[in-house]
Structure 1
Amino acid sequence: MVILASVGAVLAGVPAQADAQVAVGVRGESPSDALARNMKELATNPRSFNALIGAGRAALALGDTQAAAGFFGRADEVWPDSPLAQAGMGAALAQEGDGSGALQYFSRAAQRGATQSMIGADRGLAYDLVGQHSQAQADYRAALSGQDGDEARRRLALSLAITGKKADALAMLSPLMARGDAAGARCRAFVLALTGDSSGAKNAIEAAMPGSSANMAYFFRKLPELRSDQKAAAVNLGIFPDSGTQVASASPPPVSMNPVNIIQKNARRSDDADDDRIGSIEKWLSEATQGNTTLPATPAAPTQQVAAASVPQFSVPVRTGVDTSLTTTRKLWIQLASGPNSTALPEQFSRMKNRNRELFEGISGYISEERGKARLLIGPFRNNEEATIFTEDLASVHIPAFTWTSQPGQAIRKLPSE
């Protein structure tokens, strides 16, 4: 698999997790402004549920699923009975391409009171990613009248096209096209490509983005050959199967010409030290608080006291000697970062260790690779409680992270010791 980029960002929409419990957005506010505003609030009130949810949603809109997961996890500690944090985690996993994992979080969100209209735009994507398209389309339809109605409409059009309903898909986009919605116009090109009209797709994308059709030709031509779940991953997330040819070769589009780069903006370099996930939250907070670089401490549960951030209580992962290239049972890890490949992750782990030597003393990093995606891990841990403690320790030194479970037989390789 190769990751072209998050095509979901092209279709423009902030994930839908809003209910009557809390207002987390400001109409017309950009995701970057929303993140800055909420981080400023967290600097003075680290237990602000509204700000944690708002920051999580803004991070998702900016494509930083790792940071989003950290915010949602902390929000869940502050208000365990609210469905918003669970729905946010589901949206983050769906945006990473993990439909099955996302559906587990959406199930918990529904148990806590989330309605179909509230989570449909994001849960529908999770259903599409696992090939359950009728359920996906039902969720999207339920979300059409919600605050994410436009995004639900675009995703519904794509899902209808995936199941061969070209006329219905184009009709679904008509209201967006009538008002000149740019994302709707781009979505229309994907609909045409999904239903086998590669020529029409090229014409549509050329009209929306002059000069881009040649670079999109391979993507459009190959879409009809994929399985339905692969189509969903390709058009929504940019996760595209590699047919055995290197991305930089003549046939597939080079990384610099992926759909998002053509249609929206250049993808952020995963090895850029100043803009990577570790530093991004600190950077935002510094800008939002005019030089105050003290990040909010991880909030405790409502019945507990907030620990002093200046004296973090570090925990250590269980040393089980897992340093082979294959795990044979399910194991619990903490995911620190991810990317389309593992190239930049060892250096990223070294930066984390160098910045926080006491916390990472004696701890090794691991890499898991699957479906064109690599994860940077530490662990394994014996149980959720120990993993949660260490996740909180990481948050105290500005590293958002969340737990991840490897499956039996899944390859996990240990990074060389430094």
Structure 2
Amino acid sequence: MAIRTIRRLATGAALVALAAGVGPLRAQEVVQSLPPEGTQELNTALQRLARNANDVTALIDAGDAALRLGDVAAAIGFFGRAQAIAPSNPRISLGLARAYTLSRRPVEALRLFAEAERGGIAAAEMAEHRALAFDLVGDAQSAQELYLIAIANGADDGARRNLALSQAISGDRAGFEATLLPMLEAGDFAAFRTRAFGLAILGETDAAIKIARDMMPAQAASQIEPYLRYMSELTPAQQAAAGALGVFPRAAAIGRDDVEIATYSPSQVGSVGRADRALEPSGAPLGSLAPARREAELPPVAQSSPPTDPVVAAQDTPAVTVTQPDPDRREQQSMEDAFASFDLPPSASTAPRAGAVDITAIEAPRETNEPPPPVIPARHWVQVATGRDISALGFDWRRISRNSGGELAGKNAFTAPWGEANRLLAGPYDSAGEAREVVGRLKAIGVDSFAFSSARGEEVFPLEGARAAPAQPAPPAHPARNWVQVATGRDRQALGFDWRRIARGAEGELDGKGPFVVEWGVANRLLAGPYDSPAEAREAVNRLKALGIDSFTFTSEDGQAIETLD
């Protein structure tokens, strides 16, 4: 893989991260200041391989970095080359197991996870990926045991979302809702995506489609609706592949697993170890790049929604047009494309390549004479946001500097190019340590930021028209308050009807409490309140739940305008 290809992958991953700017959610105000995780590690590993193509440790590092960057096919190539040199290395087995899981070869993956564990890899280290492999063979019980181990050992919200999806697949509605609730209350778009999938799996198709319509642009919502209508018709393994990996079966395969998965038999006592030991070797030898199972990418969707009646669906196959995937053309419609506006993480390119990675063809940078010292010195900054539109960053600067509690006092706004976007920077600071201290103080008051050091010769531009941050923050026009969210929607007039319907069923619980609205991405939250404390809002949620009304607590930020719904 040429260095320019690695740079293209890194740039693409960075742009995906930037695409998530959808509203005033706290978790999305600031984008990671560094290149996508894995970029530097992959570049370093490639340079080591250019010096020694048989460096097993470098091959493993390159495979791990390729997985973090989302290039599963490249990862399989690196791990396959490493295994040919050191076939008993357990870290190679683990890497291949993770890659095979993401490329939908879960039976092979489970055998490799068991091999890695026998080689000394701790069960907790691989619990999250191993859990997904179990879900992809339809063994939700083993999967959920491992998700809980992963979460107990510090796994991020991705493991929690996959656990909730697995609970929905196994019919555990209460567990599904309880697992998602904290993330939903925090406004996590990915959690709402998982809830849409889970409700569709549980047969609540209309509720799932409403979430998609509320949270996505109309065109994207119409693209995903046919898939949501079919979710309850899929096998558990197919549901896991659709919800976790964004891969839907071909129309002819709906409700039918591949032979390899259909003949898989999980342990009756739910023992992960025994379930792995029951696996018989199958498929191509480890490290080979034989084609993955013939499970199609998500096919193009017809303009009309498919029928919900399974009998009609079986007879009316044109409702979902089936096309054979072209291995040389990866631009087909996929679940990822349909959910692109729903903050769905990018799907990896999982088509295995025709041969192992040719390490000797890697174009590693060569040493050259050191150029003259640049005029622009290295400097230290605090990055507070990113964005493509420089003028929009001016609005971001005014908002962030007002809410910084005086921590940015006297500092001016600057921008630095970052791919096709720009970093919004405060500074400069005398040292990297001083910048990190400011980041820590900003975090304590709820403002996300990152320390950033511009390299020698890197241009950093003053933000035109921006004023220095004030010494003291202006008092917020709207103080932080506690609310109960009872619905979401883009059409405020329709939300008025929703409020009247919900209030009638609330038996006086919402009297005098609304309605209020606040923007949320492309939609609006419908709120009742305000309540004196988060605990009081939580009690109201519980009382509404007893009446059969779904709701969530919501705390508005200082300065966040909450409007009365006319």
Instruction: Specify the TM-score bucket, using the shorter chain as the normaliser.
Output: 0.5 to 0.7
Change (3 A) 1:289 1:165: farther
Counterpart Cα distance in 2 of 1:290 and 1:262: 43
Counterpart Cα distance in 1 of 2:367 and 2:348: 24
Given the alignment, which residue of 146, 155, 164 partners 2:162?
155
Indicate whether 1:88 and 2:156 are aligned.
no
Counterpart Cα distance in 2 of 1:74 and 1:278: 10
**Superposition CA RMSD, Å:** 4.0
1:23-51 CA-partner distances (Å, limit 9, x unpaired): xxx99651462433432343335455554
Residue 217 of structure 2 aligns to a residue whose secondary structure is coil
The residue number in structure 2 matching 1:339 is none
Matches within 5 A, 1:44-83: 44-76=51-83, 82-83=89-90
The residue number in structure 2 matching 1:259 is 335
The residue number in structure 2 matching 1:217 is 225
Residue 52 of structure 1 aligns to a residue whose secondary structure is helix
Gaps of 5+ in 1: 1-8, 14-25, 293-418
> Given residue 190 of structure 2, which amino acid in structure 1 is its aligned partner?
A
Given the alignment, which residue of 142, 145, 154 partners 2:149?
142
The residue number in structure 2 matching 1:289 is 365
> Given residue 234 of structure 1, which amino acid in structure 2 is its aligned partner?
A
Counterpart Cα distance in 2 of 1:134 and 1:268: 26
Change (3 A) 1:253 1:170: farther
The residue number in structure 1 matching 2:490 is none
What's the CA shift for 1:104? 0.9
Counterpart Cα distance in 1 of 2:367 and 2:226: 47
What's the CA shift for 1:122? 1.1
Indicate whether 1:110 and 2:142 are aligned.
no
The residue number in structure 2 matching 1:229 is 237
> Given residue 39 of structure 2, which amino acid in structure 1 is its aligned partner?
D
Q: How many residues align?
A: 265
The residue number in structure 1 matching 2:454 is none
Would you say the 8 A contact 2:72–2:350 is kept in 1?
no
Residue 241 of structure 1 aligns to a residue whose secondary structure is coil
What's the CA shift for 1:98? 1.5
Would you say the 8 A contact 1:194–1:224 is kept in 2?
yes
Counterpart Cα distance in 1 of 2:139 and 2:242: 16
Would you say the 8 A contact 2:245–2:347 is kept in 1?
no
TM-score normalised according to structure 2 size: 0.40
What's the CA shift for 1:196? 1.6
What's the CA shift for 1:219? 0.6
Change (3 A) 1:204 1:175: same
> Given residue 33 of structure 1, which amino acid in structure 2 is its aligned partner?
T
The residue number in structure 2 matching 1:30 is 36
Would you say the 8 A contact 1:215–1:257 is kept in 2?
no
TM-score normalised according to structure 1 size: 0.53
Matches within 5 A, 1:304-343: none
Counterpart Cα distance in 1 of 2:348 and 2:179: 32
What's the CA shift for 1:143? 0.8
Would you say the 8 A contact 1:38–1:55 is kept in 2?
yes
> Given residue 231 of structure 2, which amino acid in structure 1 is its aligned partner?
L
**What percent identity do the matched residue pairs reach?**
32
Using CA pairs below 8 Å that are at least 6 residues apart, which structure has the higher relative contact order?
A: 1
Matches within 5 A, 1:131-210: 131-146=138-153, 148-210=155-217
State which drifts further: 98-107 or 146-155.
146-155
Gaps of 5+ in 2: 1-12, 18-31, 254-298, 304-318, 323-330, 369-566
Counterpart Cα distance in 1 of 2:74 and 2:205: 37
Change (3 A) 1:261 1:111: same
The residue number in structure 1 matching 2:432 is none
Given the alignment, which residue of 240, 243, 249 partners 2:251?
243
What's the CA shift for 1:285? 5.3
What's the CA shift for 1:200? 2.1
What's the CA shift for 1:217? 0.7
What's the CA shift for 1:289? 2.9
State which drifts further: 250-259 or 190-199.
250-259
Counterpart Cα distance in 2 of 1:119 and 1:65: 17
Would you say the 8 A contact 1:66–1:277 is kept in 2?
no
Counterpart Cα distance in 2 of 1:181 and 1:38: 34
Counterpart Cα distance in 2 of 1:189 and 1:120: 25
> Given residue 242 of structure 1, which amino acid in structure 2 is its aligned partner?
R
What's the CA shift for 1:165? 1.4
Change (3 A) 1:184 1:280: farther
1:333-381 CA-partner distances (Å, limit 9, x unpaired): xxxxxxxxxxxxxxxxxxxxxxxxxxxxxxxxxxxxxxxxxxxxxxxxx
